[in-house]
Structure 1
Amino acid sequence: MENPITAQHGLKYDLKNAHDELKRLRHKHGGIYLIHQPVYLCVDPEVCKLILTKDFQYFGGRGASFDYKKNPLGQHLFNLEGEAWRNMRVKLTPTFTSGKMKQMFDTLLDCGIPMLERIDELVQQKKSLDIKEIVGCYTTDVIGSCAFGLECNSFKDPKSEFRKNGRILLSARPIFTIAIFLRFVMPSILKKIPVKFIPQDIEDFFVGAIKSVIDHRSSNNVYRNDFVQILLDMQEKSKADGQEPMTVMEIAAQSFVFFIAGFETSSTTMSFCLHELAFNQDVQDKLRNEIKKTMQENDGKLTYDGVMGMKYLDGVVNETLRKYPPLPMLFRKCDRDYTLKDTNTTLEAGTNVFISILGLHYDEEYYPNPEKFVPERFMDENKHSRPQYTHLPFGEGPRNCIGSRFGLMQTKTGLAMILNKFRVLPGPGETYKINFNPKITIMTKKGDLLLMAENL
C-alpha cells in the first residue's frame, strides 16, 4: 500500500478513548499500521460503496482467522468466509422476510408485557430505572423465544441461564479482547494458542439448549413460528433436495449468533434512544403523539404494519443508530490486489480494511452539529439529500447485517410499548454526555444508565 500514514505521521490511537478517536479519524483517510500489519482506513462514502458493494468480490471476508475446531459455535454467518459464507447466506436470507417477521410479532408483544409491569412497579416505588437491564431482559426474552423457542422469564428470574450467559458474553474479558486483536494482526500466533472465544460452560449450555429443542420437537411433533423452526425446515428441505443438510452444530451456531447479536444490539439501541428522549422532551412528545395516533387507527393495538409504518419512530431510531451504532467500525480484507478508482493507491492482497462508521456518522459535512439529536435528519425530505453510505449502522452490500429487519422490529416495538404508557426522564446523577466502555466491542455505556419514568 502506498504512502501509509503511521503513528510517526501524526495518527495516534488512544484505546482509553476509542470511540472519540474513531470520530476524530473521520478526517484521516489512507493507510495506518496495526503493529506490523498495514490497514486501509476508509471514511469516504464513495470508496465505502466500492469496498462494501460494487467491488465486493475483492473484499468478501472480514480478515479474521478463526479455528472452528476450538470454537464450533463460531461457524456462524458473521465469521464464515468464502464459499462457506455464500452458501450459508443463501440458506438464511429467506429467514428474515417481512412475512416471517409478522409471524414473530405477537411474541414481541407478549415479551413486552413483563417489561411494562417492571417499569410500572418501579414507578409506583418512585425508584429509578436501570434501563440497560430492563430492556436487556426484554430483548433476551424475545430472542430466547424467537431463536430457541424457550421461555426465558428474565424479569421473574434475573438469574435465568440465558440472561446470565448473555451478560457474561458481553462483559469485558481481557483474554477475549486480546484474542480479537490477535485475530487481525497476528493470526499465525493465535493458531498456536488454544484460545476459546466462548467459555466451555456457555458453549455447552447453548449447544445443549438447541439439541434439547430439536429433540423435543421431533419427539412430540411440535411446530413453532421461530428461528429454530425455520432452520429445521431448511434442514428437511435440503434432505428432500438431495443436498447436504445443516448439522446440529451449524444450527446451534446460527442460533447462537442470532441470540448474541439480537439481544445486545437491540437493547443498547433502545437504551440510548430512551436516554436521548429523556433529555429531549419535545422529541419524545412528538413521537408519543405518532404512536398514539397509529394505535387509534388500529383499534388501540400495536400491529406489525403500524409499528413499521411510523415515519417519525423510524427517524428517531435511525438517529439513535447514527449517534450510537452498535459497531463503531466495519472490517473487511482485500483478497487480491486492488487499485482504488481514480488513484495510484493499490491495496495489496491481505490488506485489512477498516471503515469508521463513527467517523462517517459524525462528519459535519453530512450531519451538521452531529452531537445534537435530530430525528428529522431521516425524514424523506432530508435523508435523500445525503450521499449513500454515510449511514451504516448495519453495514451495506452483500455482507450487511442479515437480521437488521428483525432488530428494527424488536427495537421499535419495545419503544412504542414503553412510550405509550410512560414518560421517561433523566435519572439521578445522569448527564447527557455518554461515557462509553472501550473494553467492549459493541458500543455501550460505562456503568448503569439510569432513567426515571412517570405514568401517563
Structure 2
Amino acid sequence: MAILLGLLFGTLSLAAWWVLQNYTYWKRRGIPHDPPSILFGNTRELWRSMQLAHIIKRTYFKYKNKIDGPFVGFYLYAMKYIVITDIDFVKTVLVRDFEKFHDRGVYHNERDDPLTNNLATIEGEKWKNLRQKLTPTFTPGKMKNMFPTVLNVGDELIRVIDEKISSSPQTLEVTELVARFTADVIGICAFGLECNSLRDPTAEFVRMGYSALRERRHGWLVDLLIFGAPKLAVKLGFQFLLPPVQEFYMKIVRDSIEYRIKNKVTRNDLMDLLIDLKLKYDSGDRQSGLTFNEVAAQVFTFFLAGFEAGSTTMGFALYELACNQDVQEKVRTEVDTVLGKHNGKLDYDSMQEMNYLEKVIDETLRKHPVVAHLARIATKPFAHSSPKYFIEAGTGVLVPTLAIHHDPEFYPEPEKFIPERFDKEQIEKRPACAFLPFGAGPRNCIGLRLGRMQVMIGMALLIRNFRFDLHPTKTTFPVKYQIKNLLLSSEGGINLNVSKVVRD
C-alpha cells in the first residue's frame, strides 16, 4: 500500500509540476500575455461563446502598440503559441523566414484518419514534394480550360433561382443556394462527377460536405486533445472525421478512378493529374507518385476548401451588396458593360475586365475572411533582434487575419464596406501582408485561382440577373457569425429578398 501511495503521490507531483511549468512559460519569459486557465489556456470561451478568430482578434487589439516586441504569449489549450501584433513580423513568419515556420502544427493522421493527411495539414519535405506535384493543376491555362465547365454550373444556378422566383420576388437563404453551386463546381472539377446538388437540396455531396466541416465526432475533451496536442492524439489513434464521411469520400474517389481508367476517360482536370500520380506509384515510381489514400486526401481537401470558402464568400458578398445598393448597381453596370463589349458572352477573357467586381470580392474577403486566422509552428529556433523575443522550436504561431483586416491603421472605418480600398494606389499604401484571405508566402492557398474564378463567375451571373435586398425581419443585421465553426460563417444563413432584374 505504501508503494502504491508513493507512486500515486509521485505521479500527481509530476503532473502538478508539468502544469506549473507549462502554464507559467510566458510569465517566466517576461512575455506579455493573458493569464491562462488550466486545460483551456486562453481559449476557455472557444466554441462556447466565441470563435477562435475573435479570441485572437481581442488579444491583438489589447496588446498592439502597447508592448516592446512583435508578439504576445498565448495558450491554445495546453499548447504554447504566440499571437503576432506587428504587421512586419507577419511577413517574417510567412515569407522571409518561411523555412523556420513552414508547418502548421495541426492534426493529421495518415494511419487512422487518411483523409486528414492532405496538402493543408502535412509537414516538412513531404508537404514540399506534394505541393510541387500538385502546382501544375492550377495554372492560368488550366483555369481557362475549366472555365466553360464552371460557367455551365453557373447557368444552372440562374435557372434554379429563376424557377424559384418565377411569379414574384422571394426571400431566399442565399448561402445554402450558392453552397450547392460550389458543390457542383468542385464536384465536377475535382471528382469529374455531375452532382446535381442545385436540383436536389438533399444531395449527399452537400450533406457530407457540411458533416465534414460542422459535425464533431467527439466531445470537447477529445477535441481538446486533437486541437491542443495533435501529435499525442495521433499516437493514441484518435480519429477526427466521422466514419460516414470517410466512407463516402473514399468510395467516390475509388469509383471515379476505376471508371476513368477502365473507360480511358480524360477531362484535363484535377482528377486526371491525381490519377497520373497514382499510376506512377502503382508502377513502382514511389518518389514521383501518390498512393490511393494520398489521392483521396487531396481530392477531399480541395472539395471542402472550394465548397465552403467559395459559398461563404459569395453569401457574404451578396449580403454586403444588399446592404449597399449603390455598390450593387455599380457592379451590375460593370457586368452589363463588359458583356455588351463581348456580345453578351461571359468567358475567361471578359471576366478579366470586371475589375470592380473583383474589388467587391476582395472587400468581402477583407471584412469577412473565411479563414480568419493562420497557424504555423516553429520548426527551428528563431532569434529576434530583441533577445527576449526568441521563439523556441515547437512553439505555435497565430497570425490574426481577422484582426489585421479590421485594423483601422490599415483600413480606416473597417466596419464599412468600401471596395475602393482595393484601388491600386490604396493597395500600394498598405504594408505587405495586410490582406491575407488566402495566406501568403510559399504556403498560400494552392487553389486560389480556381476559388476566385468560381466566385467571379457566380457573382457576375447573379448580379446580372437578380436584385438582392435586405428582408426587414429575416435578414440579420449586422451579420452574426457561427460560434462553433473553425471557419468564419454566418449563423442561420443569409436571408435576402431576391427579384429579377427588369431591363428596358
TM-score range, shorter chain: over 0.9
Residue of 221, 227, 230 corresponding to 2:273: 230
Give the letter aligned to residue 460 of structure 2: A
Tell which deviates more after alignment, 180-189 or 146-155. 180-189
| Residue in structure 2 matched with residue 6 of structure 1 by the alignment | 33
Return the alpha-carbon distance in structure 1 between the equivalents of residues 77 and 303 of structure 2: 33
Shift of 1:30: 1.3
> Are residues 1:83 and 2:125 paired?
yes
Give the letter aligned to residue 266 of structure 1: G
Residue of 35, 47, 50 corresponding to 1:17: 50
Tell which deviates more after alignment, 250-259 or 188-197. 188-197
Asked if the contact 2:42–2:74 (Cα under 8 Å) also holds between the matched residues in 1, the reply is no
| Residue in structure 1 matched with residue 313 of structure 2 by the alignment | 269
Shift of 1:9: 9.1
Question: What is the DSSP-based 3-state SS (H/G/I as helix, E as strand, rest coil) of the residue aligned with 2:170?
Answer: coil
Return the alpha-carbon distance in structure 2 between the equivalents of residues 9 and 194 of structure 1: 28
Shift of 1:291: 0.8
Return the alpha-carbon distance in structure 1 between the equivalents of residues 500 and 176 of structure 2: 20
| 1:86-123 CA-partner distances (Å, limit 9, x unpaired) | 11000011110000011111111111122112222232
Question: What is the DSSP-based 3-state SS (H/G/I as helix, E as strand, rest coil) of the residue aligned with 1:299?
Answer: coil
Question: What is the DSSP-based 3-state SS (H/G/I as helix, E as strand, rest coil) of the residue aligned with 1:265?
Answer: helix
In structure 2, the CA distance between the partners of 1:181 and 1:389, relative to structure 1 (3 Å rule), is: farther
Shift of 1:241: 7.4
Tell which deviates more after alignment, 9-18 or 189-198. 9-18
Shift of 1:337: 1.3
> Are residues 1:127 and 2:170 paired?
yes
| Residue in structure 2 matched with residue 439 of structure 1 by the alignment | 484
> Are residues 1:324 and 2:357 paired?
no
Return the alpha-carbon distance in structure 2 between the equivalents of residues 392 and 155 of structure 1: 31
Return the alpha-carbon distance in structure 2 between the equivalents of residues 108 and 382 of structure 1: 32
Give the letter aligned to residue 85 of structure 1: W
Give the letter aligned to residue 408 of structure 1: R
Residue of 363, 383, 391 corresponding to 1:339: 383
Asked if the contact 1:112–1:414 (Cα under 8 Å) also holds between the matched residues in 2, the reply is yes
Question: What is the DSSP-based 3-state SS (H/G/I as helix, E as strand, rest coil) of the residue aligned with 2:201?
Answer: coil
Return the alpha-carbon distance in structure 2 between the equivalents of residues 304 and 346 of structure 1: 48
| Residue in structure 1 matched with residue 342 of structure 2 by the alignment | 298
> Are residues 1:384 and 2:411 paired?
no
| Residue in structure 1 matched with residue 296 of structure 2 by the alignment | 252
The alignment's C-alpha RMSD in Å is 2.2
Shift of 1:7: 2.6
Give the letter aligned to residue 23 of structure 1: K
Question: What is the DSSP-based 3-state SS (H/G/I as helix, E as strand, rest coil) of the residue aligned with 2:178?
Answer: helix
Return the alpha-carbon distance in structure 2 between the equivalents of residues 277 and 449 of structure 1: 12
| Residue in structure 2 matched with residue 455 of structure 1 by the alignment | 500
Question: What is the DSSP-based 3-state SS (H/G/I as helix, E as strand, rest coil) of the residue aligned with 2:417?
Answer: coil
* 1:41-440 mapped onto 2 (5 Å cutoff): 41-124=83-166, 125-173=168-216, 175=218, 181-187=224-230, 189-191=232-234, 193-235=236-278, 243-342=287-386, 344-429=388-473, 430-440=475-485
Normalized against structure 2, the TM-score is what? 0.86
Question: What is the DSSP-based 3-state SS (H/G/I as helix, E as strand, rest coil) of the residue aligned with 1:440?
Answer: coil
In structure 2, the CA distance between the partners of 1:334 and 1:114, relative to structure 1 (3 Å rule), is: same
Give the letter aligned to residue 175 of structure 1: H
Question: What is the DSSP-based 3-state SS (H/G/I as helix, E as strand, rest coil) of the residue aligned with 2:397?
Answer: strand
Return the alpha-carbon distance in structure 2 between the equivalents of residues 22 and 349 of structure 1: 21
Task: Report the number of matched residues.
Answer: 456
Task: Quote the sequence identity (%).
Answer: 39
Asked if the contact 1:130–1:448 (Cα under 8 Å) also holds between the matched residues in 2, the reply is yes
Shift of 1:236: 5.0
Asked if the contact 1:172–1:439 (Cα under 8 Å) also holds between the matched residues in 2, the reply is no
Give the letter aligned to residue 441 of structure 1: L
Shift of 1:182: 2.5
| 1:325-358 CA-partner distances (Å, limit 9, x unpaired) | 1111100001121122455311111101111101
Asked if the contact 2:371–2:437 (Cα under 8 Å) also holds between the matched residues in 1, the reply is yes
Give the letter aligned to residue 4 of structure 1: I
Q: Which has the higher contact order (CA 8 A, sep 6+)?
A: 1
Give the letter aligned to residue 200 of structure 1: P
Return the alpha-carbon distance in structure 2 between the equivalents of residues 100 and 58 of structure 1: 32
In structure 2, the CA distance between the partners of 1:106 and 1:130, relative to structure 1 (3 Å rule), is: same
In structure 2, the CA distance between the partners of 1:90 and 1:251, relative to structure 1 (3 Å rule), is: same
Tell which deviates more after alignment, 145-154 or 444-453. 444-453
In structure 2, the CA distance between the partners of 1:181 and 1:262, relative to structure 1 (3 Å rule), is: farther
Question: What is the DSSP-based 3-state SS (H/G/I as helix, E as strand, rest coil) of the residue aligned with 2:218?
Answer: helix
| 1:55-85 CA-partner distances (Å, limit 9, x unpaired) | 0111111112432111111121001101110
Shift of 1:126: 3.4
